[in-house]
Amino acid sequence: MDSPKLSKSPIPSASAFASASASISSSSSPVQESPFSNYISSLSPIKHDKAAHVAQGFVGLSSPPLVFTSPRINTLGRPQSSSVEISQKCEGDKKIINESCILERSVTESQGLVTDIKNEDNKDDVAVQLGSSSECVDEYLADPVETDCAKSACSVKLNLKQSNNVLQSSVDGLLDLKNIKFGSKNNVGREVDAAQFLSGQSEESIERKLTSDEKLLKIENEQGSAQGISDGFQKFESDRFDLSSKEKECKNFGPQKDGRGDGCSNFLQQLPGSLLGVQSYEGFAKNIGGDADVPVHSMTHEASELQRSMSRRCLQFGEAQPEATATCSISKNRANNIISSTSLAKNSETESLSSSHLDLSAKSRTRQLVNLSQLAMNMIPQCYGNSSLTVLKPSGIGLHLNSIVNATSMGQGGTASMKLAQAIKSTSTTSCQTTENIDNCSDAFEKVSTPQEGALEQKVCTIAGSASESLFAEESVGFHMTPNTKRKFSSEDGDGNDMFDQQSPIKKRKKLSNSTDGDGCKRCNCKKTKCLKLYCDCFAAGIYCAEPCSCQGCFNRPEYEETVLETRKQIESRNPLAFSPKIVQPVTEFPLSNREDGNRKTPSSARHKRGCNCKRSMCLKKYCECYQANVGCSIGCRCEGCKNVYGKKKDYCVTEEMVNRSGEISESRVAAKPKKEIFHSELCDPYHLTPLTPSVQCSDHGKNASISRLLSRRCLPSPESDLTVLSYAKSPRSPRTSDSNDILLETSKGNLDIDSFCEGISYNNAVTLADEFHHTPLPNHPSVIIGSSSSKARELTSLSRVQLDPRSRSLTSGGSLHWHSSPIMPMSPLNDNKKLQGLDSADGGLYDILEDDMPEILKDTSMPIKPVKAGSPNGKRVSPPHNLHQLGSSSSGPLRSGRKFILKAVPSFPPLTPCIDAKGSCNQSRNNFQENRSND
């Protein structure tokens, strides 16, 4: 670790990037080729080959600048020098591109795509359009293009930009086309294309590629493995390149072909490689976390990269995959992996975009770390906004690629994700921070991915919101994004240093922003509590304090594990949900629609377990936990004058009322009671769900969330199970969570079960119930599906997922899907890829929640529930209309029974220690922490 850091540390960002870019261009060829060739050889299995390559890349990386990318480039077969030259040449263009990208990022992705296509016509405009098209894509393309130009050198430097632009545009267009054609298959096809392209098949007509891609896609689809997805991302990027290159050849190069001839193919090959290199580099940088400054503290890098890379590797590299799958599943959520996996299928486009972003970012990094950060920033904000998804994904993609490379290069990928996460923490020094950062990043990515999925669960929103916590960011979309970005950047720049450079944590912290790492993990500054009380964010998150922390007399350290555990037990004895995620993502109310929409869904539904108690901040400042988590206030909140931009308590109530009316819930006791009261009483009970957290409030802010809830409920066939499940998923902790809310609502509607819940049902119980559902899902009930999603949880969830089931991702997503589509299946969320995909985002959240909050049992059950990241608590709440109706109409009838059922199950559940912290970042660390505890 240290040694690597030293080597890298010298030049965290700029130099490292530059070297990386150069090295990438120069040395990347082998890496890229191998992976791609592998792809070609075995469509799905890319991983092994890639892994091998990756491993190589690692070696190379370890020594020289990350260079993961560079090796790949080399592999492409292009002369290193040429690549380097290209990179250099392209730098100018890249800058332009980056700028344009940044400027245009604001533009919606769709628009961007369109513009890109158009750009093809207008080469000059291409650059700008590229940027606009898909931020990531643009960047990505831009870089490749540049490289292409350089490589191909085709003739005209002047044309380079244009050609690049054209390529990008063409690529974008191709991507779009592919996306359209292939839809979910895009990833695979892309991968295939990439492989082919790499192999040199790029020369073939684009059509052939498309066809082959389709076939490949099919094959890959069959595989349907997360790896395929991850690979798909990479491939997707590569494919894009291919497409772009092809397009160039056909269009731009048509005339130039003579000159380029082989050059084009080479160019294409190079592009992928360069892209890979860039991505890897980016990933590396990202992994470093912000380490730009401390580029390489190998440990941290490894950890972060490994996690990320693991997922990607899994996808790309078969070798790494095995472990990666496990690790990835574990860490997927956490880092980009999650995003990639979750978003891959769904986000093919977004991924492509993200990839492009990554590429771009990578380039920018190589060129300018700042650019990357800017890109990321831009990306993030957008993502948060709505379309932000695309942005995030891209970043995620880029990360994935990078991570993969890194991971492979690191070779650590093999290690379990848990270990990685832990190692990262430890290595990073601020284990918490690192993990948190990772978590945050992952959350962010997840969020992004989720949004792509359609904002399946609006996790994106939540995520965005929770950039810090709920991804969680502080403020709505921008907020979330920023936090993440901040974390990333900070981590990279400052935090990263902290993480990696334990030496100057304080400074880093300061740089970063407050106590929260860029990731969203908070660094504590405890002075009197010794970090053994919930006041301590680290402790509350289940993570150990690290260097970044400024705490005094800290006992929240591994050396005091016993003390920590004891204290924790004590606290848990008082409040079993004390360590559960504060924010719970409600099940995606209407995953599909929202997902399709893109985003928001999850976030909106996420809620704070307990709800806030703000009196002066009007829920407009971070004092408000709901706001901090980017979650709307819910019934569970006792706030006064709530103006939470993510969702006002009023809105939530209104929505609930709406629901009740529609659901005829009025009958239930709840109806009699004021919703708030009901929720409070019920939710507030630690055992019971946490206070309801109306799903409504999403990033969109409560209204949307509320609406979503209503819709979801309406849509949801069987709210009962869902609700219960959701409640579980969300975790015992947070009554507020949308899930819990949903549950509450349902319960209230049904009369039910609130009582039963009150009797002793706890979130945990709910979880157990969910498990039960899984085992014996109610036919009618959507089984629960708690779609809770938590960014934080992601990490944990990733871990938990892994533990739970390889499908982990799918599971989570599946859970959400179940939710929507078929609640019954909560347990088997994993099974359905579609579900998974659709749910990915949501699932991620659920997973997170579950993982984090959920005890092992839940995990084992493979509950779909996702914990909402602390950052983005928007967990969608499951608002099972049916359940409600059932409950309401037949209030006591089935619903109650169902709930009772749940209740029975509940007791068995151990107190969940959801990863989803309100902060949402440290889920992994928490998970680890919790796991350790549990083990102990």
Partner DNA sequence: GAGTTTGAAACT
Partner DNA sequence: CAGTTTCAAACTC
How near is the Cβ of 330 to DNA at its closest, in Å? 27
Q: Does 575 bind DNA (CB under 7 A)?
A: yes
**Beta strand segments in 218-305, E:** none
Given 229, 314, 424, 614, the residue binding DNA (CB under 7 A): 614
Given 126, 524, 715, 729, the residue binding DNA (CB under 7 A): 524
How near is the Cβ of 733 to DNA at its closest, in Å? 9
How near is the Cβ of 553 to DNA at its closest, in Å? 9
What is d(CA 246, CA 656) in angstroms, rounded to the nearest whole number? 53
Nearest residue to 799 (alpha-carbon basis) of 930, 691, 689, 924: 924
* Token code pair at residue 254: 């048509």
What is the pattern of x (binds DNA, CB under 7 A) and - over residues 450-469? ------------------x-
Nearer to DNA, 213 or 436 (CB): 436
Nearest residue to 459 (alpha-carbon basis) of 645, 605, 347: 605
Nearest residue to 234 (alpha-carbon basis) of 69, 147, 355: 355
H helices of 493-631, where?
Answer: 495-500, 505-512, 537-540, 561-574, 591-597, 601-605, 625-628
467-496 residues near DNA, rule: CB under 7 A? 468, 474
Span near DNA by CB under 7 A; candidates 102-110, 311-319, 507-515, 698-706: 507-515
Nearer to DNA, 319 or 625 (CB): 625
Span near DNA by CB under 7 A; candidates 329-337, 623-631, 658-666, 821-829: 623-631
Q: How far apart are the first and last CA of the chain?
A: 28
Nearer to DNA, 317 or 679 (CB): 679
Q: Does 510 bind DNA (CB under 7 A)?
A: yes
Q: Does 527 bind DNA (CB under 7 A)?
A: yes
* Token code pair at residue 50: 């890639």
Q: Does 615 bind DNA (CB under 7 A)?
A: yes
What residues contact residue 258 under an 8 Å CB cut-off, 6+ apart?
Answer: none
Q: Does 623 bind DNA (CB under 7 A)?
A: yes
Nearer to DNA, 320 or 868 (CB): 868
Q: Does 514 bind DNA (CB under 7 A)?
A: yes
Span near DNA by CB under 7 A; candidates 39-47, 400-408, 567-575, 593-601: 567-575
Q: Does 536 bind DNA (CB under 7 A)?
A: yes
What is d(CA 851, CA 866) in angstroms, rounded to the nearest whole number? 7
How near is the Cβ of 534 to DNA at its closest, in Å? 3
CA distances from 754 to 728, 877, 903 (A): 14, 16, 10
What is d(CA 246, CA 312) in angstroms, rounded to the nearest whole number? 25
Amino acid at 639: C
Span near DNA by CB under 7 A; candidates 17-25, 192-200, 407-415, 535-543: 535-543
625-684 residues near DNA, rule: CB under 7 A? 625, 628
3-state secondary structure (DSSP) of residue 790: coil
How near is the Cβ of 609 to DNA at its closest, in Å? 9
**How many residues appear in the chain?**
936
H helices of 687-829, where?
Answer: 702-715, 719-730, 738-750, 752-760, 763-775, 791-804, 808-820
How near is the Cβ of 612 to DNA at its closest, in Å? 3
Given 214, 443, 519, 537, the residue binding DNA (CB under 7 A): 537
What residues contact residue 555 under an 8 Å CB cut-off, 6+ apart?
Answer: 530, 531, 532, 563, 564, 567
Given 610, 648, 676, 730, the residue binding DNA (CB under 7 A): 610
Given 622, 643, 673, 834, the residue binding DNA (CB under 7 A): 622
Amino acid at 186: N
3-state secondary structure (DSSP) of residue 414: helix
CA torsion angle 351 647 816 387 (round to 10): -10
Give the Cβ contact number of residue 553 at 10 Å. 11
Q: Does 624 bind DNA (CB under 7 A)?
A: yes
Given 90, 128, 397, 578, the residue binding DNA (CB under 7 A): 578
Span near DNA by CB under 7 A; candidates 170-178, 187-195, 262-270, 522-530: 522-530
What is the pattern of x (binds DNA, CB under 7 A) and - over residues 193-232? ----------------------------------------
Q: Does 522 bind DNA (CB under 7 A)?
A: yes
One-character DSSP codes across 345-394: HHTHHHHHHHHHHHHHHHHHHHH-HHHHHHHHHHHHHHHHHTTHHHHHHH
What is d(CA 146, CA 248) in angstroms, rounded to the nearest whole number? 12
What is the pattern of x (binds DNA, CB under 7 A) and - over residues 263-302? ----------------------------------------
Q: What is the DSSP letter of 666?
A: G
Q: Does 563 bind DNA (CB under 7 A)?
A: no
Given 582, 607, 835, 926, the residue binding DNA (CB under 7 A): 582
H or E stretch covering 608: strand 607-608
Interacting residues toward DNA by CB under 7 A: 468, 474, 510, 514-516, 522-530, 533-537, 540, 571, 574-575, 578, 582, 610, 612-618, 621-625, 628
